[in-house]
Amino acid sequence: MVLKIAQITDTHLFADRNTAMRGLVTWDSLGDVVTEVITWKPDVLLLTGDLTHRGEPQAYQHLIERIAPLNLPTYYIPGNHDDVDILNREFKDSPFLADKVVQGQGWQVLLLDSTLETAESGEGYFSEAQLQALEQSLTACSQPTVVVLHHHPIPMGLDWLDTIGLQNSQEFLNCLTGFPQVKLVLFGHVHLEFDQEHHGIHFCGTPSTCKQVLREGASEEEAYPGFRGLSLFEDGTYQTEVIRSHPG
């Protein structure tokens, strides 16, 4: 038995559906990605921040309309571009769940809000209270665990991007150490696919549903919008893949 989770991130929708971000109309590219998500047949949808570009209520309503065909229990966390109050207000009804823990097939998925109200350029941070709560959750439950946040907690190797990651990532990583049930850390924010093992934990960055950040020498494929599929099996193993939408 398997729990299939689709992670959609950094949709950057605007109040006006025709608005483009760096040349791409984000409403259109999200529609293409949702078509791919439907084909993948997930059980649960995870939205991991920067769901709108400027936090307008209409932009959240556009997102609701876009994901409606999926008809899935939907969990969410904010990103630095979101307005947390407006987000929580617009997402208060079905298919959204306010819970920040997803349970299934013997796994737990913990969703953490890494946004910082006083951020100057989109960087993230965990308060002492948040880190203590995380430690308590991990102490209380030894099931295989996925931790999900918006910001990247390890460097991507791109200078400008690494200045706006999780500012106290070392404290976060220290918190995870000693909890071998933590198999995977999932994040958005970076607009690129990232896949690296670090101290026995698998760190996965997921492409945006719109414009990607391209490293030097990136392939044409890496520029396409996408999402991440995560399959959690009841024997404690998992598989993950990035699926992209292609023009035409």
Least distance in angstroms from the C-beta of 93 to Fe ion: 25
Q: What is the 3-state secondary structure (H, E, C) of the chain?
A: CEEEEEEECCCCECCCCCCEECCEEHHHHHHHHHHHHHHHCCCEEEEECCCECCCCHHHHHHHHHHHHHHCCCEEEECCCCCCHHHHHHHCCCCCECCCCEEEECCEEEEECCCECCCCCCCCECCCHHHHHHHHHHHHHCCCCEEEECCCCCCCCCCHHHHCCCECCHHHHHHHHCCCCCEEEEEECCCCCCEEEEECCEEEEECCCCCCCCCCCCCCCHHHCCEEEEEEEECCCCEEEEEEECCCC
Residue nearest to Fe ion as judged by C-beta position: 189
50 vs 90 by CB, closer to Fe ion: 50
Least distance in angstroms from the C-beta of 79 to Fe ion: 4
36 vs 50 by CB, closer to Fe ion: 50
Residues that bind Fe ion (CB under 5 A): 50, 79-80, 189
Least distance in angstroms from the C-beta of 10 to Fe ion: 6
62 vs 189 by CB, closer to Fe ion: 189
79 vs 225 by CB, closer to Fe ion: 79
Least distance in angstroms from the C-beta of 115 to Fe ion: 9
80 vs 209 by CB, closer to Fe ion: 80
136: burial class by Cβ within 10 Å (0-12, 13-18, 19+)?
exposed
Least distance in angstroms from the C-beta of 81 to Fe ion: 6
Least distance in angstroms from the C-beta of 92 to Fe ion: 23
187 vs 224 by CB, closer to Fe ion: 187
